[in-house]
Amino acid sequence: MPADLTLEVTPRRIDTGDRIDVNVGLYNVNIQGIILKIQYPKGLQYLRGSAYLFQDKKQIDYGPDISQRAEDGTGYLVFFLSQSLIEDNKYEALTVQFEGELEVKDGKIAVDADYDVATAAPSRKFNVDNPKFSAVEEITINVNN
């Protein structure tokens, strides 16, 4: 396992225009680095500037390296947590916010982590058409009009 992950989403039911907080707990992170992926449904919009990495009780502004949508509207945020960022495996969490834009019925927010291949360019590590996403944790959300 590249890392042990937990997922918290609050609140799980919102109206359009409201925000959802997502907290990904990070434990036993591989010291070679990982690729952390967050998948979210059409109808939610990532709020730029809302991503923070918590490491050794410090908050670090850490936006996604990739933010893309698949043809079906599913969104992906991809974070490359490199070896140089990993100091004594003291990651605690990564947090992001989403805003409800459209109605969502039983949508899923999910997380996955993969080993980072340091020699590959970021564009070769993630392809929105083939995200190689296997949810480690997922939570159902709803957005009401």
Whether residue 17 has pLDDT greater than 90: yes
Mean pLDDT of 1-11: 94
| Span 41-53, pLDDT tens digits | 999 999 999 999 9
Domain that holds residue 135: 4-144
pTM: 0.92
Residues 6+ apart with CB under 8 A from 130: none
- Phi then psi for 116, rounded to 5 degrees? -90, 130
DSSP 56: T
Distances (CA, A) of 44 to 34, 122, 144: 25, 24, 11
Please tell me the distance from the alpha carbon of residue 97 to that of residue 95, in angstroms, as a whole number: 7
pLDDT at 92: 81
- How many independent structural domains does the chain possess? 1
Mean pLDDT of the chain: 90
**CA 10 distance to own-chain centroid:** 14
Which of residues 37 and 121 earns the better pLDDT score? 37
CATH number at residue 18: 2.60.40.740
Please identify which residue in the block is written with the tokens 């058409």. Answer: 129
From the number of C-beta atoms within 10 Å of its C-beta (0-12, 13-18, 19+), residue 139 rates as middle
At 63-92, the pLDDT tens digits run 999 999 999 999 999 998 876 666 655 668
The answer to whether residues 98 and 51 touch, using CB atoms and an 8 Å cutoff, is no
